[in-house]
Amino acid sequence: MTSFATSWRSWAGAMLAAAAAFAAPQAQAQLRVDISGVGATQYPIAIADFNGHAQGRNVSEIIRSDLSRSGQFKLVNATGANLGAESQVSFAEWSNRGADYLAYGSVTEAGGQYNISYRLVDNLRQTQLDAVAFAGSERELRRLSHRIADRIYEHITGVRGVFSTRIAYVLQTGDTYELQIADADGQNPQVMLRSKHSIISPAWSPDGKQLAYVSFELGKPVVYVQTLASGQRTSVANFKGNNSAPAWAPNGNQLAVVLSRDGISQIYTMNLDGTGLRRVMRSPLIDTEPQYTPDGNSLIFTSDRGGSPQIYRVPVSGGDAQRLTFQGGYNISPALSPDGNNLVYVARRNGAFRLALLDLSSGSEQLLTAGPDDESPSFAPNGMQVLYSSVQDGRSVLAVTSVDGRVRQTLSALNGKVREPVWGPFTD
> Rounded CA gap, 93 and 74, in Å?
17
> Rounded CA gap, 128 and 139, in Å?
29
- With residue 366 as reference, give the H or E element that holds it: strand 365-367
Is the distance from CB of 291 to CB of 334 less than 8 angstroms?
yes
Domains of the chain as residue ranges with CATH: 11-22+166-423 (2.120.10.30), 41-157 (3.40.50.10070)
**Which is nearest to 253 in space by CA: 269, 228, 280, 272?**
272
Contacts of 53 (CB under 8 A, 6+ apart): 106, 107, 108, 109, 114
Segment 349-364, tens digit of pLDDT: 999 999 999 999 999 9
- Which residues, in sequence order, are bridge partners of residue 390? 374, 397
**Which is nearest to 400 in space by CA: 427, 426, 369, 366?**
369
Helix (H, G, I), strand (E, B) or coil at 80: coil
* Strand 222-227 with 210-215, pairing: antiparallel
Helix and strand tally (H, E) in the chain? Answer: 4, 30
pLDDT at position 25: 34
pLDDT at position 217: 95
- Tell me the C-alpha to C-alpha distance, in Å, between residue 165 and each of 161, 202, 389: 9, 16, 18
Q: What is the percent of the chain with per-residue pLDDT over 70, rounded to a whole number? A: 89
The neighbour count for residue 361, using CB atoms within 10 Å, is 8
**Backbone dihedral region for residue 148 (phi beyond 0: left; psi -120 to 50: alpha; all else: beta):** alpha
Q: Which long-range contacts (CB under 8 A, 24 or more apart) does 203-207 make?
A: 203/246, 203/247, 203/248, 203/422, 204/168, 204/248, 204/422, 204/423, 204/424, 204/425, 205/248, 205/252, 206/248, 206/250, 206/251, 206/252, 206/425, 207/252, 207/425, 207/427
- Tell me the C-alpha to C-alpha distance, in Å, between residue 140 and each of 30, 42, 85, 251: 17, 29, 20, 29
pLDDT at position 3: 43
Q: What φ, ψ does residue 140 adopt, rounded to 5°?
A: -90, 0
The answer to whether the predicted template modeling score (pTM) of the entire model surpasses 0.75 is: yes
pLDDT at position 218: 95
pLDDT at position 395: 82
Confidence of residue 27 (pLDDT cuts 50, 70, 90): very low
> Rounded CA gap, 110 and 91, in Å?
32
pLDDT at position 33: 53
**Which is nearest to 324 in space by CA: 349, 316, 338, 340?**
340
Q: What is the overall mean pLDDT for the chain? A: 89
Is the distance from CB of 10 to CB of 384 less than 8 angstroms?
no
Segment 112-135, tens digit of pLDDT: 999 999 999 999 999 999 999 999
pLDDT at position 7: 38
pLDDT over 60 at 312, yes or no: yes
**Which is nearest to 145 in space by CA: 167, 122, 169, 114?**
114
> Rounded CA gap, 5 and 332, in Å?
7
Segment 30-59, tens digit of pLDDT: 555 554 555 567 899 999 999 988 899 999
- Average pLDDT, integer, range 304-311: 93
Q: How many residues in total does the chain contain?
A: 428
Is the distance from CB of 409 to CB of 39 less than 8 angstroms?
no
- Average pLDDT, integer, range 12-36: 43
**Which is nearest to 106 in space by CA: 46, 44, 164, 48?**
48
Confidence of residue 14 (pLDDT cuts 50, 70, 90): very low
- Of 32-46, 84-98, 154-168, 196-210, the range with the lowest mean pLDDT is 32-46
For the chain, the maximum distance between any two Cα atoms, rounded to a whole number of angstroms, is 72
